[in-house]
């Protein structure tokens, strides 16, 4: 299958870094997921062929890591931490707030395809709990109001892109 030049560049740079080919699997899947939005059957077959693995082995790895998905997700994946530090400082309220605000539950996606919501385990931002991660961006010391702004910022970003 055809993947972007950037992906190919990264893939070929990585492939020689490790003693076994399969070591590049996880980073490759992450790069591919960033491009495609999710890991398609076609991509799984492609990676299996490139790395001499079976489709099953690729799926095993994907199912192990929660940040890899074979289902389409919204443009912005809102991951709210409810592990202990965040929980003590209101993480669950943030999650509930997001559910109400976006009208979706855990692992749901808004109808406009803009947001997905996920309750996640520790994202390593305990010092600034409660925290959430949207794609690769961290948002810390959240309150429901602050969360509203965060979501609004992403909406605005999309509108701006659409308008220009």
Partner 1 sequence: MADVNITLDGKKLTAPAGTLLIEACKNAGIEVPSFCYYPGFSLQGACRMCLVKIEKVPKLQTACTTVIGEGMIVTTDSPEIHQARKSMVELLLGNHPLDCPVCDAGGECELQDMTFAYGAAESKYIDIKNHREEQQWSPVVYFDRPRCILCYRCVRVCGEGMDVWALGIQNRGVASVIAPNKEDHLECEECGMCIDICPVGALTSGAYRYKTRPWEMKHIDTTCTHCGDGCRTTLGVRRADTGIEIVRGDNRDKSGINGDFLCIKGRYAFDFVDNEQRIKQPLIRKDGRLTPSSWEEAFELIGRRFAEICGREGGRAIGVIGSSKTSNEENYLLQKFARVVLGTNNIDHHRTGDFPAFARALAGKLDATASMRDVFKAPAMLVIGNDPTNQHPLLAWQIRNNVRLHRSRLYVINSQPIKLRRQATAFAHIPAGSEAKLVALLAGDDSVLDVLVSENTPREALLSLRDRLRGEQNLVIIFGAELRGEEMARLVKVGSAVSGAKFVCLGDYANSRGAADMGLYPDLLPGYLPVTQGKTFREEWGGLPDAPGLTIPQMVDAAKAGQLKALYVVGANPVARFNIDPFAFAKSFVVMQDMFLTETALIADVVLPGANAYEKSGTFTNTCGDLQLLRKAGEVTGTKPDFEIIVRIAERMGFDVRKLVPFGGGMWADMGQSRGAQSGEADRHSVWLEAHGLETKLSPFDPMAILDEIQRLVPGYHVSRRTLLSGTDQHTRIGGPGILHNPELIVPANDDLFTSGTLGRYSRALNSVLENQRRKPVETEVAAD
Instruction: Write the CB contacts of 24 (distance below 8 Å, at least 6 apart in sequence).
Output: 11, 14, 15, 17, 18, 51
Residue 60 contacts partner 1 per CB under 8 A: yes
Considering only 56, 136, 160, 163, the residue that binds partner 1 (CB under 8 A) is 56
Stretch that binds partner 1, among 47-55, 88-96, 143-151, 154-162 (CB under 8 A): 47-55
Residue 54 contacts partner 1 per CB under 8 A: yes
Considering only 4, 49, 71, 148, the residue that binds partner 1 (CB under 8 A) is 49
Closest to partner 1 by CB, 50 vs 75, is 50
DSSP for 40-81, please give it: -HHHHHHHHHHHT--HHHHHHHHHH-TT--SS---SEEEEEE
**Consecutive H or E run containing 118:** strand 115-120
Residue 63 contacts partner 1 per CB under 8 A: yes
Closest to partner 1 by CB, 64 vs 136, is 64
Closest to partner 1 by CB, 18 vs 138, is 18
Contact indicator for 138, 131 with CB cutoff of 8 Å: yes
With CA atoms as reference, report the closest residue to 110 among 154, 69, 143, 161: 154
With CA atoms as reference, report the closest residue to 38 among 75, 76, 77, 70: 70
Cβ 106 to partner 1 shortest distance, Å? 15
Stretch that binds partner 1, among 2-10, 50-58, 92-100, 143-151 (CB under 8 A): 50-58
Closest to partner 1 by CB, 47 vs 78, is 47
Q: Is 153 helix (H, G, I), strand (E, B) or coil?
A: helix
Stretch that binds partner 1, among 8-16, 57-65, 132-140, 148-156 (CB under 8 A): 57-65
Using CB under 8 A as the criterion, which residues of the chain lie in contact with partner 1 when the complex forms?
Answer: 22, 48-49, 52-57, 59-60, 63-64
């Amino acid at each position: 299958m055809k993947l972007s030049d950037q992906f190919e560049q990264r893939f070929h740079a990585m492939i020689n870094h490790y003693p076994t080919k399969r070591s590049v699997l996880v980073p490759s899947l992450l790069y591919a997921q960033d491009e495609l939005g999710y890991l398609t059957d076609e991509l799984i077959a492609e990676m299996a062929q490139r790395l001499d693995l079976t489709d099953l082995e690729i799926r095993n790895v994907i199912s192990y890591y929660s940040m890899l998905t074979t289902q389409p997700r919204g443009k912005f994946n809102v991951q709210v931490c409810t592990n202990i530090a965040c929980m003590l400082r209101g993480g669950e309220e943030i999650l509930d707030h997001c559910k109400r605000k976006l009208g979706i539950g855990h692992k749901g996606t808004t109808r406009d395809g803009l947001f997905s919501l996920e309750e996640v385990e520790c994202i390593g931002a305990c010092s600034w709990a409660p925290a959430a991660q949207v794609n690769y961006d961290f948002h810390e010391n959240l309150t429901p109001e602050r969360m509203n702004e965060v979501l609004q910022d992403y909406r605005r970003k999309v509108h701006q892109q659409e308008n220009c």
